Amino acid sequence: GGTRSLQLDADLAKQYHQALRNLQKTLKLKGTIDVGLLAGFRDVITISDQPADDPKLAALIEKLVGQAIQDLVKMRKKEGTLLAVDIRTRIETLRGLKAHVAVKAPSVAQDAFDRMKSRLEKLLASEIPDVAKLHQELALYADRSDITEELVRLDAHMIQFDQTLQSSESVGKTLDFLLQEMGREVNTIGSKANDVTITASVVQMKAELERIREQIQNVE
């Protein structure tokens, strides 16, 4: 008699995997490639009739399957390492942009003060100063003149992001949450700082955050 056995073509599976990765990159698709999907492709796993009780064949199949699994694990690990390096590089780019904004922030605050002073002088020049309007102008200045808190929180989020990225646990959702928090701080900086240079940096920061968000879709 005989038994039906499975034959795994590991090289073909690798080729299918690479083809899917290329397609994913071309179409800018997110997500991971499931091993079950690869196993379903033509000729990756085939069934053949073999003589019964063949220990050599059983050992060969076990070895092939084990090697295929090891190769897939190594491939995923390599992809994960490259992904982490790319994300860290983009975080460093964010830090550089944040530093540029921090340098510019004092002059932006001074400009806001000068504009506020000019408006107040006009209000005080009237015969009957509008006290409510004065309070409104002062409150507006206080809100718009300082982005220090946003910069500090942004820096803290980036530090936590770095630490989380180094974890061996499942961190995808945590990284996504931190990205949302960073995006919130960047948006606030952009709305507070009425400055062309800072606005340009904010646009770049948003672009980097979006690229990182696309990357972490592949982080488990």
> What residues does each domain of the chain span?
2-81, 82-218
Q: How far apart are CA 146 and CA 134, in angstroms?
A: 19
Nearest Cα neighbor of 91 from 214, 184, 211 is 211
Q: How far apart are CA 205 and CA 138, in angstroms?
A: 30
Instruction: Give the tens place of pLDDT for each residue, 157-167.
Output: 999 998 888 87
For the ranges 18-22, 55-59, 138-142, the lowest mean pLDDT is seen at 138-142
Between β-strands 45-51 and 2-8, what pairing exists: parallel, antiparallel or unpaired? Answer: antiparallel
- Mean pLDDT value across the chain: 79
For residue 32, what is the DSSP state?
-
Nearest Cα neighbor of 202 from 94, 111, 88 is 94
pTM of the model: 0.56
Paired strand residues for 8: 45
Instruction: Give the tens place of pLDDT for each residue, 109-166.
Output: 777 777 777 777 777 776 666 667 766 766 666 566 678 889 999 999 999 998 888 8
- Lookup: tokens for 102: 């921090």
Q: How far apart are CA 192 and CA 148, in angstroms?
A: 11
For residue 218, what is the DSSP state?
G
Nearest Cα neighbor of 69 from 94, 39, 49, 42 is 39
